[in-house]
Structure 1
Amino acid sequence: MRYLPLSDADRAEMLRTIGAPSVDSLFVDVPDAARLAGPIDGLPDHASEMAVERQLSALARTNLAAGEAPFFLGCGAYKHHVPASVDHLIQRGEFLTSYTPYQPEIAQGTLQALFEFQTQVARLYGCDVANASMYDGSTACWEAIGMARRITRRTKALLSNGLHPHYVSVAETMARFTGDMLVTGRPELSPEGDGAALLAAIDGETSCVVVQYPDILGRIADMSELAERAHAQGALLIAVVTEPVALGALRSPGEMGADIVVGEGQSLGVGLNFGGPYVGLFATREKYVRQMPGRLAGETTDAAGKRGFVLTLSTREQHIRREKATSNICTNSGLCALAFTIHMTLLGEKGLRDLALLNHARAVAAAERLAKVPGVELVNDSFFNEFTLRLPREARPVVRTMAADGVLGGVSLGRLYPGADALANGLVVAVTEMVTEEDISTLAVALEEALK
């Protein structure tokens, strides 16, 4: 039975109220290529439940799952081992059903878990305080830019060419409604990033400089000088970390002077999940905490002197002073944040460092092996677990050929930067602890065959 509470007259009145000529006009921002002109080809108008199950199962069998092939995809989403205990614990009823603590006095366990999550993120990022998570890394990146605008009262943000293009796209979408001017470009297939250009571009109109660490090509740069130059001009430095495992081996952005550190937490505790849900991480200096979006769980004592937890900060749009809200993100990625916390707790500091070193060692072995393939050149001078290769021809068809042979060999830069001929031969390869020596050998053979 369909539930359609609105009549044609109701819909017409709603459209008149908002000034839209039709329902279709509400979707003008969706590209024509992504919109259906009619029913999906090949699907019947109706079918039995059993027939639908059979058809969808057949469609699902055409996928190549991450666990069924040598897997070298990365660029912001990474295949790490998630201990079985993580899924076991987050599916306990008290965790799975406790979504968001609107009434803190009856959600002490949830608040405590968020408090521990915040502590882990703050220590990982080298910052004073972290919030109770965001939707994902890209929205956290935009929220950081908006936070910098509120603090500096400026609207020009410098985005490093090495920032993930999807993060840039999200920021550009939101900036259309805020008036922020985003200055960015495309990376070059070279060992050096655009640090020198960013240093030269910082001026008295700059609100923030946004730098990915490691960047989209896997390159690692010291941000200390950028932080000093930004601060000298009254601007903030925002660091974006899409691979949190890297911070088990690298200096934290906060140590290098970053004012706001954001990123994606998917690598720890959260599976690839076909692209989501993920968990955005957000941390900053204590002096900026009032401008931080999202929510902050804090520790206190009750009237009897017992330890307790409260919502220390919750500047969201549905609260009383909604006009002063710092964000329109309504909640945190609670269950994913809990998975992150459980995985981090199981690892501990030493475990995270060991995991990071294992990732780096496997990546070094892969880079050395792949650089021996005829015509292939390693772009990076430095990297953590992700690096870029320059192939002798366009990478996209090479990736497709390897995938057809059962090897997920990396992400082509032509896919991330369509139309950028200078990047078309670039292939970004990610290597985690899940990759074996046999996988590396299989990739090298598949790459050499695909290039013939």
Structure 2
Amino acid sequence: MRYLPLTPADRTEMLSVIGAPSIDALFADVPKEARLDGPIRGLPLHASELAVERHMTALGRKNTVAGEVPFFLGAGAYRHHVPASVDHLIQRGEFLTAYTPYQPEIAQGTLQMLFEFQTQVARMLGTDVANASMYDGSTACWEAIGMARRITKRAKAILSGGLHPHYVSVAKTMAKYTGDALDVALPELSAETDIDALIAKIDADTSCVVVQYPDILGRIADLTPLADACHANKALLIAVVTEPVAMGAIRAPGEMDADIVVGEGQSIGVGLQFGGPYVGLFGCKEKYVRQMPGRLCGETVDADGRRGFVLTLSTREQHIRREKATSNICTNSGLCALAFSVHMTLLGEAGLRRLAGLNHAGACRAAARLAKVPGVRVVNHTFFNEFTVDLGREARPIVRRLADEGVLAGVSLGRLYPGVAALENGLVVAVTETVTDEDIEALATALEGALEGALAA
């Protein structure tokens, strides 16, 4: 049943008030190539509920299920094992239906969970404080850039070439409306990161430098020299973590003096889910907490001296400050944050370190095996569970061929950077604890066959 409470006259009056000639004019900022030019192709205009279910099920069967084939996709979204107890706990009624906990007296469970989430994220990222989550990693990255502008009163952000291109795209979209100047570079298909180049770009107009850790090619760099250079110029260092499991094996960015650390929390507790919903992580130094977006939960005591939890520093938020708020975050992906927190609680620090060890060991085995395939060069000298290989030819056709053979080989850089010839031979390969030695052998064998076939052609 369709629910259309507005009459044509209502719509006409609303458009008149805001000065828009038509409803289509409200979507003018959406690129034309991204807009539908009619009904969705492949779906009937009218059908019974049963017919729609059958049709959608048939479409769904065309998907390749991640858990049924060798799976090496990563580049910001990772397949990890999520214990069944996570879903069991987050589906309890008091969590599943809870929304923004403005009334602490009836939301103690949700507030305590968010407080614990903040504690876990702050310890993981190495920051003094963390908020109660963001929408996802890419929007958290942009919010960090906006926060740096408020703190430094500058509007030039330098973005590393190793920053995920989707994160760069989100930043560009938002910067169109804020006036921020973004200095953006492309990565190079080499083992070296661009830390030295970033340091050389910092000047008196720089608000922040944004660097991914590990970066889009899986490379790991010491961020300390970059942090020192930023602070010498009164700029901030923003570190982006797209694979939080890595924090169980490598130094946290906050320990290297990063001012703001953001990330994508999907790897812990949250499935791939066709790209979302995910959960953004956001931490910073305590001195910047009043400029941090999102909401914060604090611990206190009630009138009887009992431990309790409340929203704190709420004067920064939009329900109080309106257009002067630190961000427009009005919800916090709370259910995904809960899944993250439950999974982290089940793991504990020792469990996270063991999980990270499994990931890195598997990636080392995969890199060693792929290096033996004729024509394949492993680019990285350093990596956690993700690395880049140079196939010596365009990777996209190879990836498609392997997908037809039932092996999801990785993410081609040609897909992430269309039209950039210097990167089209690159393939980003991710290995998590879900990948077996048999999967690695299947990838190597299929890749060898595909490269031999390409040579023969």
- The answer for unaligned runs of 5 or more in structure 1 is none
CA gap 1:315/1:411 in 2 versus in 1, 3 angstroms: farther
Q: Tell me if 1:48 matches 2:45.
A: no
Structure 2 letter corresponding to 1:389: V
The CA deviation string for residues 87-131 of structure 1, in whole angstroms up to 9 with x for no partner, is 111111111112220211110111110010000000001110000
Conserved? CA contact 2:294–2:317, under 8 Å: no
Corresponding position of 1:271: 271
Structure 1: distance between partners of 2:444 and 2:198? 36
TM alignment of 1:27-46, pairs within 5 A: 27-46=27-46
**TM-score normalised according to structure 2 size:** 0.97
Corresponding position of 2:253: 253
Structure 2 letter corresponding to 1:192: E
Structure 2 letter corresponding to 1:342: V
SS in 1 for 2:365: helix
Compute the displacement of 1:324 (Å).
2.5
Corresponding position of 1:98: 98
Corresponding position of 2:20: 20
TM alignment of 1:316-327, pairs within 5 A: 318-327=318-327
Conserved? CA contact 1:316–1:328, under 8 Å: no
Conserved? CA contact 2:318–2:327, under 8 Å: no
Compute the displacement of 1:316 (Å).
5.6
Structure 2: distance between partners of 1:262 and 1:159? 14
SS in 2 for 1:321: helix
Structure 1: distance between partners of 2:42 and 2:145? 44
Structure 2 letter corresponding to 1:105: E
Corresponding position of 1:334: 334
Conserved? CA contact 1:316–1:322, under 8 Å: no
Compute the displacement of 1:132 (Å).
0.2
Conserved? CA contact 2:208–2:235, under 8 Å: yes
Compute the displacement of 1:12 (Å).
2.2
Structure 2: distance between partners of 1:276 and 1:347? 23
TM alignment of 1:410-449, pairs within 5 A: 410-449=410-449
Corresponding position of 1:132: 132
Structure 1 letter corresponding to 2:4: L
Structure 2: distance between partners of 1:247 and 1:373? 31
**TM-score normalised according to structure 1 size:** 0.98
Conserved? CA contact 2:295–2:317, under 8 Å: no
Corresponding position of 2:211: 211
Structure 2: distance between partners of 1:382 and 1:176? 35
Structure 2: distance between partners of 1:38 and 1:133? 37
Large movers: runs of 4+ above 4 Å: none
Corresponding position of 1:301: 301
Conserved? CA contact 1:315–1:326, under 8 Å: no
The CA deviation string for residues 258-294 of structure 1, in whole angstroms up to 9 with x for no partner, is 0000000000000101111100000001100000001
Structure 1: distance between partners of 2:395 and 2:103? 52
Q: 310-319 vs 47-56, which deviates more?
A: 310-319
How big is the alpha-carbon RMSD for the aligned residues of Structure 1 and Structure 2? 1.1
Q: Tell me if 1:164 matches 2:164.
A: yes
Q: Tell me if 1:184 matches 2:171.
A: no
Structure 2 letter corresponding to 1:146: G
Structure 2: distance between partners of 1:446 and 1:30? 40
Structure 1 letter corresponding to 2:270: V
SS in 2 for 1:308: strand
The CA deviation string for residues 204-258 of structure 1, in whole angstroms up to 9 with x for no partner, is 1100000000000000000000000100100000000000000100001011010
Paired residues, number: 452
Structure 1 letter corresponding to 2:239: A
